[in-house]
Amino acid sequence: MAERSFAKEVRSLRLGEGEVFRGEGILAVTKALLQSGVAYIGGYQGAPISHLMDVFADAGEILDELGVRFQASSSEATAAAMLAASINYPLRGAVTWKSTVGTNVASDALANLASAGVQGGALIILGEDYGEGASIMQERTHAFAMKSQIWLLDPRPDLSVITRMVEHGFGLSEHSNTPVMLELRIRACHVHGRFVAKDNVPPPLAAKAALAQPSRSEDKIVLPPHTYRQEQDKVERRWPAAVSYVEQHGLNEIFDGEEGDLGIIMQGGMYNFVVRALELLGLSDSFGTSRVPLYVLNVTYPLVDAEIERFCTDKRAVLMVEEGQPDHIEQALNQILKRAGSRTEIEGKGFLPKAGEYTGAVILEGVRAFLARHGEGLLEASPGQSVTSDAPTGEAARLESIVPPRPPGLCTGCPERPFFTAVKLLEKEVGPIHISSDIGCHTFATLPPFNMGSSVLGYGLGAAAASAFGASEGRPPLTIMGDGGFWHNGLTSGITNAVFNDDDSVVVVIDNNYSAATGGQYIPSSKPGMAEQAKRYSIQDAVHGVGVEWVRTVSTYDIEASLGTLREAMNTRLKGPRVIVAEGECQLNRQRRVQPLIAAMVSDGRRAVKERFGVDSDTCTGDHACVRLSGCPSLTIKPNPDPLREHPVAFVDNTCVGCGVCGSVAHAAALCPSFYRAEVIFNPNLLDRLLGSVRRALIGSMQRRADRKRLARAV
């Protein structure tokens, strides 16, 4: 399961020579891989390239026909290690993951791969998760590429350019015997467009066939003295070979303009923003015909000195549009031009922010400032469109002032929410607890209304992050990780480490049956019946297998049981790690699975039942413990309908999925009296109709009786 199916879209992957492909960036990348004769594909899901893994999974039939090996890797390190197949064999391989966190996980494999070098093309497709929409620390891939001498492509967000860079990525890799990274920002992943397709190419040598003729080369082993020769080979042969390939095949693009004494150099991913800024300033049309010359770096590492020198010839000033920090490319430009004796002035971070995402508005202001200084009246002479501020006006401004900001949080009915409620109730009993958090949906527990968690260090590293406290006296630390993080890294780095060191700690594994935070992909502990490939490897068996003696399983929706188990884990005299596996299926994925079934039943005229919860306004006291301890998006407040009562009352909106947690948290497992449960019955049968009539009559009678008593008291 995943948040989106590409079952229909993958049909376009069968397009042949001369046919026009129309679709999304992620699909275009897949098509380019198949046109390039890729032999094997792997990866680990994560924004903004999660859908690339989903496309691979849905295109299984096409991959099988071509003889392409695909696997969903258990981590980014696993995916990177797959590329070892390209070291000794002419096999083209591609892997993908979310950068830069994924690159950090894969760094050991990548560094060794880059040192040994490759024979077959090795392409690493990275989701460059940078900017306001990102969910990770703000770093860029460029530094890692420079550190390990891996070439870095940053294609212009146009499908024809993206597919060309994928194909040339393999060529560049093979020509220079070096792995290549191709980074895609979220807009490039999901941009729509078209390009002229080519025939899919089966790999000349399949991965399985390579085993029939095993090959090895001693100088590919990363041990002295080979490592010293490998370093020299990187600098003396591979680097010049890469530069030559980039220049000969015109991978970077130069767009001439009539204002020849100025220029703009940019990362390929920044092209659309730059052209839009120039259009708003009256210096380009909507099709990218710019009056200011442009040099687009579809390859940001290595740089081609000769191209840069030619572009900057006779230019007074050039603006470098380089998103993120440090300003690696800007520094390199200054060095290259100084060495060439050029007097061209390089501008960059002086006009553009030193850090942060380069949105359209940011680049517009930077380009405007650059042209104001160096354009000598160019802006005044250009007709230019009226440029408005990004600040909201009118109704939007009014709403911004009265609607509170809503940070990201757990979904409606999320099974993790009630367990965190139990943790909050435990803290009321015993005082503050050091909670080591982890990456995943549960990271949202660091935000209101839970406000728990002292650190987030990496995927599956929650338990490891608390290891410094593991042998301390007194209250043990509490660590939390998800089932995805558990299989990714947590079992070995956290729990096994805690067993080995006899850490006195409590580890909670939230088992929601999926890698939910990355889009609902299946993991080893997904239950059979949810997916054909699900095998249900037990988390409990795994932790028992590494030596954990104290293991308990609870339902996340049972707040009372969760609270009791937490008390037991915190107070037991048994030393060593205690593991609680808190089970509850991801509600979002459950709805994706169940809703189509219910819709089909309703459409076919069969009886279907949905549970809903609500709040009786007359009974609600306005205490709002349900809101403070739950925070469910479907639970809010509304004005009190009783004119004699001031406090607003709780209210459940139409997004409710019927989990019942909001009512039970008010009294730690006893449903609050103001909450009621209702069943919405579609296509009711005769008994349902009869019971409905009886209930309406009985309730109506009781309401009329209550009204008569109220009137009598008033008289």
pLDDT of res. 241? 98
CA distance 463 to 476: 12
pLDDT of res. 669? 44
pLDDT of res. 529? 61
CA distance 53 to 461: 24
The tens digit of pLDDT for each residue in 347-394 reads 999 999 999 999 999 999 999 999 999 987 888 766 655 555 556 666
SS (H, E, C) 622-637: CCCHHHHHHCCCCEEE
| Distance in Å from the first CA to the final CA of the chain | 64
Output 617-620 pairs: Cβ under 8 A, ≥24 positions apart: 617/641, 617/642, 617/649, 618/642, 619/673, 619/674, 620/649, 620/650, 620/674
Domain 416-589 superfamily per CATH: Thiamin diphosphate (ThDP)-binding fold, Pyr/PP domains (3.40.50.970)
Nearest to 38 by CA among 127, 97, 120, 110: 120
Tokens standing for residue 507: 């580890």
pLDDT of res. 512? 92
Contacts of 311 by beta carbon, 8 Å cutoff, 6+ apart: 254, 263, 265, 293, 295, 318
Answer yes or no: are the C-beta atoms of 591 and 657 closer than 8 Å: yes
pLDDT of res. 387? 53
**Identical fold between 253-381 and 608-702:** no
Instruction: State the alpha helices, DSSP H only, in 551-637.
Output: 559-571, 587-603, 625-630
Q: Which CATH class is domain 608-702?
A: alpha beta
CA distance 600 to 607: 11
- Give the global pTM: 0.88
DSSP for residue 521 = B
Answer yes or no: are the C-beta atoms of 378 and 283 closer than 8 Å: yes
CA distance 95 to 74: 12
Tokens standing for residue 175: 């020509």
In the chain, what are the domain boundaries?
Answer: 16-248, 253-381, 416-589, 608-702
In the chain, the largest separation of any two C-alpha atoms, in whole Å, equals 104
Answer yes or no: are the C-beta atoms of 97 and 106 closer than 8 Å: yes
**Ramachandran area for residue 679 (φ above 0: left; ψ -120 to 50: alpha; else beta):** beta
Q: Which CATH class is domain 253-381?
A: alpha beta
Tracing tokens 């001031």 back to the chain, one arrives at 646
pLDDT of res. 392? 62
For domain 16-248, give its CATH number from 3.40.50.970, 3.30.70.100, 3.40.30.10, 3.40.50.300. Answer: 3.40.50.970
CA distance 648 to 488: 45
CA distance 43 to 30: 13
Q: Which residues of the chain have pLDDT under 50?
A: 669
Answer yes or no: are the C-beta atoms of 157 and 217 closer than 8 Å: no
